[in-house]
Amino acid sequence: MSELALTRRSRLAVPAVAAGALLLGALAVGAAFGARIGVLMVIGGLLGMVLYHAAFGFTAAWRVFITERRGRGLRAQMVMLAIAVLLFFPALGAGTLFGSPVSGYVAPVGVSVIFGAFLFGIGMQLGGGCASGTLFTAGGGNARMLITLLFFVVGSVIGTAHFAWWQSLPAFQPVSLVQTAGVGGGIVVSLALFAAIAAFTVVMEKRRHGQLEQTPRIDAGNQRWLTGPWPLLFGAVALALLNYATLALAGRPWGVTGAFALWGAKGFELLGGDVTGWGYWQAPGNAAALQASVWSDITTVMNVGIMVGALVAASLAGRFAPNFRIPAKSVLAAVIGGIMLGYGARLAFGCNIGAYFGGIASGSLHGWVWLIAAFAGNMIGVRLRPLFFEGEAARQPAAKGC
């Protein structure tokens, strides 16, 4: 056997083992807790591959627009949201999808959401990623993001300790476009808002640069579907479709950070703590999750799938090479940013996935408020980054697309 063939086989060994572990894990949790949970673990794996290969994220896209007025990433997010709304609103209006009951993420709008989303936005820039970005970059081999993930969990459990107090502050009742404007009216309003945001990014980009950024040319060979990169718009479409699949299987949209709170609570209890007296964990669903196996939690299973899927993608691309030599200031930013991300997500009823993507796809007004507050937080976070990252180093902690 030639040396080239041996090299190719060795490159395929890690992704093959990781993909095999994902499938075995899906079969195991499916056998123990139901076939749907097993399939959702595979959906998580596909999400991880899409996020990694398409370099689809929120933190870098927002930072690039804030600092350089380049809006390609923001426009891709609008495409993703538009497809999601077209798919979600009819199902949410009917209350069922393929014969199973479904519901969206619709939450109150108040001080808690505004402050939590703002804090989350700052954390995005210091931590180097959002919720999905932290998972797929950590799974893809970014060692610094493991630190962000750890303190994301810490911040999440602290947020549950304070959750009841924040919810006692002034807030408006939940508002759903699907309910107030109807399915058709909600779609029209949402699409108009997406178009307005996309148009705004075009105007700002042309004002700064004279023309829009050219889409990077990607090799048209079939091998790129294994090794990447994938077109950004393909990532937008795929994420919307996979979120729709999640809605059909889980009965609700894709979420990420609820699992971080659960992991933190279980870890705290292993250390001798007790969270059962906290208001957050007295809600029936959260109390049941705390008592059950962590592997019965849909969000946990999907998060694990995302990380393994990103590992598969990074290995296929030949870019899985963790570097544990991390500057001290960068570590400090990961710690602070991670805590902000976790704490903010609990206060705001979710993150860039549950509140922004899932909330807007559900027609919830809180998703739009989250977007505005989190973007404002990102603007502050961008200004704080030079305190931790000097020069071009400010771009390094956030892996491409996160």
Convert the pLDDT of each residue in 94-121 to its tens digit: 999 999 999 999 999 999 999 999 999 9
How far apart CA 224 and CA 108 sit, in angstroms, is 43
pLDDT tens digits for 277-302?
999 999 999 999 999 999 999 999 99
Which alpha helices (H) appear in 34-110, and where do they start and end? 35-53, 59-68, 72-94
Q: Rounded mean pLDDT of 313-333?
A: 92
At residue 225 the predicted structure's pLDDT band, cuts being 50, 70 and 90, is: confident
Q: Rounded mean pLDDT of 351-378?
A: 98
Estimate the share of the chain in helix, then strand, then coil, as percent rounded to the nearest 5. Answer: 75, 0, 25
What is this structure's pTM? Answer: 0.94
Q: What is the pLDDT of residue 5?
A: 46
Q: What is the pLDDT of residue 226?
A: 82
Tokens 């994420």, located at residue: 239
Tokens 């870098």, located at residue: 60
Q: Do β-strands 100-101 and 96-97 pair in parallel, antiparallel, or remain unpaired?
A: antiparallel
How far apart CA 111 and CA 185 sit, in angstroms, is 28
How far apart CA 109 and CA 355 sit, in angstroms, is 11
CB atoms within 10 A of CB 9: 11
Q: What is the pLDDT of residue 221?
A: 67
pLDDT tens digits for 236-272?
999 999 999 999 999 999 999 999 999 999 999 999 9
Q: What is the pLDDT of residue 217?
A: 75
Phi and psi angles of residue 210, each rounded to the nearest 5 degrees, phi first: 85, -20
Q: What is the pLDDT of residue 4?
A: 43
Dig out the tokens for 151 from the structure: 């303190």
CB-facing half-sphere around the CA of 389: CA atoms within 13 A: 22
Domain boundaries along the sequence of the chain: 14-215+243-395
Q: What is the pLDDT of residue 398?
A: 42
How far apart CA 140 and CA 15 sit, in angstroms, is 11
**Burial environment of residue 391 by CB neighbours within 10 A (0 to 12, 13 to 18, 19 or more):** exposed
Q: Using alpha carbons only, what angle is made at residue 156 by residues 153 and 161, rounded to the nearest 5 degrees?
A: 130
At residue 11 the predicted structure's pLDDT band, cuts being 50, 70 and 90, is: low
Q: What is the pLDDT of residue 347?
A: 97
Top pLDDT among 292 and 222 is at 292
CA dihedral of 387, 134, 238, 248, whole degrees rounded to 10: -130
At residue 214 the predicted structure's pLDDT band, cuts being 50, 70 and 90, is: confident
Q: Do β-strands 109-110 and 171-172 pair in parallel, antiparallel, or remain unpaired?
A: antiparallel
The set of residues, in sequence order, having a beta carbon less than 8 Å from that of 39 and lying 6+ positions away, is 26, 30, 249
3-state secondary structure 169-181: CCEECCCEHHHHC
Q: Rounded mean pLDDT of 54-66?
A: 95
How far apart CA 389 and CA 326 sit, in angstroms, is 11
Q: What is the pLDDT of residue 283?
A: 95
Q: What is the pLDDT of residue 228?
A: 85
Q: Rounded mean pLDDT of 43-54?
A: 97
Q: Euclidean distance between the first and final Cα of the chain, in Å?
A: 40
Which range is least confidently modeled, 41-55, 140-154, 192-206, 378-392? 378-392
Would the pLDDT of 229 be above 50? yes
How far apart CA 302 and CA 194 sit, in angstroms, is 28
Is residue 360 a contact partner of residue 86, using CB atoms and an 8 Å limit?
A: no
Phi and psi angles of residue 49, each rounded to the nearest 5 degrees, phi first: -65, -45
Strands (E) in 133-272, as ranges, are: 171-172
Q: What is the pLDDT of residue 9?
A: 60
CB atoms within 10 A of CB 202: 13
Strands (E) in 10-140, as ranges, are: 96-97, 100-101, 109-110
Q: What is the pLDDT of residue 397?
A: 40
Q: Rounded mean pLDDT of 130-155?
A: 96
Task: Tell me the average pLDDT of the chain.
Answer: 93
Q: What is the pLDDT of residue 57?
A: 87
At residue 14 the predicted structure's pLDDT band, cuts being 50, 70 and 90, is: confident
Residue 106 three-state SS: coil
